[in-house]
Amino acid sequence: MALIYISVGSNIERERHIAAAYLELHALFGPLRCSRVFESEAVGFVGEPFYNLVIEAHTELAVADCISALKSLEQRYGKEATAPKFCGKTLDLDLLTYDALICQQPVELPRGEILKNAFVLWPLAELAPEQLHPVTQQSYLALWQAYQERQQLWPIEFVWPDPTVVLPASLLPADAQPVCV
């Protein structure tokens, strides 16, 4: 089983989409560990603030299958595959790491956003402080403590849904079927 970290973000109906992502990822991967949820200003464009967090999971899926599953979930919740990188998002799921794998295809691993964006690094450092970044070989806590960029974010209170219940219809896209977790 591979240890993976996933960045989760939303700035459109944030509570709804973060809760749905949590339930969907629990259904896909089983038990999850989550950082706190952080609110952050939009980075790279003018837009509504985001909710962001990092989720730890274990998977037997290959990297390409894991990426495909995450992209499928994004699209299911309204993210267009052709949408620009810097824009509002209902749900943004990025595979940050897959064990200690370093690769460029099918996606860059570890993701460059880990070292660039506070809304990725702070929750990752909180969730896995002693884990080593596969390239720098520094712990995520050490990377966070040395972080110099100016980005505004702060932890918020978030009420997590119970992952042992059927995904409520109010969280599902209009054309989706409920998922049992």
Global pTM value:
0.87
User: What's the CA gap between 129 and 175, in Å, rounded?
Assistant: 39
Nearest residue to 53 via CA among 34, 33, 69 = 34
pLDDT digits 0-9 by tens, 110-162? 999 999 999 999 999 999 999 999 999 999 999 999 999 888 899 999 888 87
Q: How far apart are the first and last CA of the chain?
A: 20
pLDDT digits 0-9 by tens, 35-80? 999 999 877 666 789 999 999 999 999 999 999 999 999 999 877 7
Q: Which domains does the chain have, with CATH numbers?
A: 2-110+153-167 (3.30.70.560)
